[in-house]
Structures are given as C-alpha cells and as structure tokens.
Structure 1
Amino acid sequence: MLEMRPDCERCGIDLPADAAGAHVCSFECTFCTSCTAGPLAGRCPNCGGDLQVRPLRIGAALAKYPSSTERKHGR
C-alpha cells in the first residue's frame, strides 16, 4: 500500500492524499507536478526512475488508511 507522503521532497508543498498534483517513483519518492514537469523533467533525482501520477485515496479508504504524516522535504 502506498504511504501517500504528505509533501514534495523538492519544494515542500503540501500534497494531500485526496487531491491531484503528486507524482511518485517506484520507491514512492514524492514530488509535485511543478517540480516533476520542470526541473526534474519526469525523473526521480534519488533513483533515476520515472515519475508517474500518484493515485488519489479518498473517502472511506482514506479514513481507514490515512496518509503518512512524515514530511520528506529538507532531508
């Protein structure tokens, strides 16, 4: 199950699990659309993998399986 990390690892913007705008690699490194489309050019700077649109987690699924609260920006 995806962790649904709460922020962009590059710029720190909030990325709620129930809102569009997050991209992930196969290791779940998480970046916003602006960073993905801009400076990262669709590639994860950590592993070199491609960044894909992260699916949404909404409603009952989000209530039962909440997103992570551990922020990754600035590590």
Structure 2
Amino acid sequence: MLILKPNCECCDRDLAPDSPDARICTYECTFCADCVETRLGGACPNCGGDFTVRPIRPAAMLARHPASAERVIGQHEACAA
C-alpha cells in the first residue's frame, strides 16, 4: 500500500492525499508536478527513475488506511532555492 507522503521532497509544498499534482517514482519518492518538470527534469534525484501521477486512494479507504503525516525533505542540489 502506498504511503502517500504529505509533501514535495523538493519544495516542501503540501500534497493532499487526493492531489492531482503529486508524482512518485517506483520507490515512492514524492514530488510536486512543478518540481518534477522544472527542477528535476523528469528524473528522480534519489534513484534516477521516472515519475508517474500518484494514485488517489478512495475516501472510504483513506479513512481506514490514512496517509502519512511524516514530512520528507531531500537535500538535492536541484532543489536548493
């Protein structure tokens, strides 16, 4: 089951569990669409893989299996402001 991280690991933007802007790689590294397109060039800075739109968990299932509240911030050169 996906963890559904609550933020972009690059810019720390909030990403709600139902956000259409959340992107993940095969390791569930989580970034916003803007960072994936403008800062990361479509490649995960952790594993080098590509991204896909993060699936949205149905509300009834989200109540049973909530999203993570643990924020993750990477220390990637491309994300430095």
Deviations 1:6-60 (A, max 9, x none): 0000000000111211000000000001001111111100110101110111310
2:9 maps to 1:9 = yes
Number of residues of Structure 1 aligned to a counterpart in Structure 2: 75
Structure 2: which 5+ runs fail to align?
76-81
Q: TM-score, normalised by structure 2?
A: 0.87
Structure 2 CA distance for aligned equivalents of residues 18 and 33 of structure 1: 14
**Which secondary structure does the structure 1 equivalent of 2:31 belong to?**
strand
In the other structure, the counterpart of 1:21 is 21
Aligned structure 1 segments of 4 or more residues deviating by more than 3 angstroms: none
| Percent of matched pairs sharing the same residue | 51
Secondary structure of 2:63 counterpart: helix
For 2:45, the equivalent position in structure 1 comes to: 45
Could you tell me which runs of 5 or more consecutive residues in structure 1 were left unpaired when the two chains were aligned: none
Cα offset, 1:74, TM superposition: 5.1
RMSD of aligned alpha carbons: 1.1
Residue aligning to 2:63: 63
